[in-house]
Amino acid sequence: MKKFFSIFGTIILLLVAVALIFNQPIKEYAVKRIAEHNLTTLTAKKAASNAKKKGEFDFNKVKPISATQVAKASVNNDAAVIGKMAVPSVNLRLPIVVGLSDNALSTGGGTMKENEKMGKSNYALAGHYMTNKGALFSPLENAKIGDLAYITDMKRVYTYKIYYKKIVPPTAVYLLDDVENQSILTLITCADGGTNRWALQGSLVKSQPANKNTLAVFS
């Protein structure tokens, strides 16, 4: 019986992968559905539990998002979701996940450093760029200086004001460094077809308890 379910699961995965390979809109739709499911089911308890899980932080293993990657995440998504993020001005709302694994980056924005703490130091997130402006980190291309970005661990909501936006080379890892006495949010995604990176940074302007009103920005 276990063998049957294993074979059945493999067949389903292959069918999903084939559909995604031959239809870019389906792939983008699947990515959005993964994000929406995790956004709507996340609780403070689940976020706290997932925050204890280990992630993968090897930048060299990050590959462009593929149909197979999305198919696996659609069929069996075990990404450790620890919060939510939003940039309302460009209609970006995504889960925040631990690490930079394929599954994590098919789900939302992945933490770029181990043991990052929301609202403290330089909280850095990376996400995939897709051709559809509404998928994953793609909308960040349209964000502007002065826009507000929000993150939450479902206990508190942190508001940042974007002050930096620039295309940088992949070697610009200094943007992940902590800055003394500053609380920063750093968002990284691909630019120029993957040759370079969009880098955005915001400074913390507000920290509030998470409740129905303050969490509304993530809906």
Average pLDDT over residues 172-179: 96
The answer to which of 18-22, 50-54, 156-160, 166-170 has the lowest mean pLDDT is 18-22
The torsion region of residue 119 among left (phi > 0), alpha (psi -120 to 50) and beta comes to left
Tokens standing for 199? 């880098």
From CA 54, how far away is CA 109, in angstroms rounded? 16
CB atoms within 10 A of CB 110: 28
Give me Rg for the CA atoms of the chain.
Answer: 17
Q: Does the pLDDT at position 83 exceed 70?
A: yes
Q: List, by residue number, the catalytic residues.
A: 128, 190
The residue type found at 141 is E
Average pLDDT over residues 203-216: 98
Average pLDDT over residues 134-139: 90
3-state secondary structure string, 132-182? CCCCECHHHHHCCCCCEEEEECCCEEEEEEEEEEEEECCCCHHHHCCCCCC
Q: Does the pLDDT at position 7 exceed 80?
A: no
For residue 40, what pLDDT is reported? 95
From CA 81, how far away is CA 51, in angstroms rounded? 8
What are the structural domains, with CATH classification, of the chain? 1-218 (2.40.260.10)
Q: Does the pLDDT at position 184 exceed 60?
A: yes
What's the whole-model pTM score?
Answer: 0.88
Average pLDDT over residues 144-156: 98
Tokens standing for 88? 């309302």
For residue 12, what pLDDT is reported? 57
From CA 55, how far away is CA 163, in angstroms rounded? 29
Q: Does the pLDDT at position 182 exceed 80?
A: yes
Place of tokens 């509404």: 134
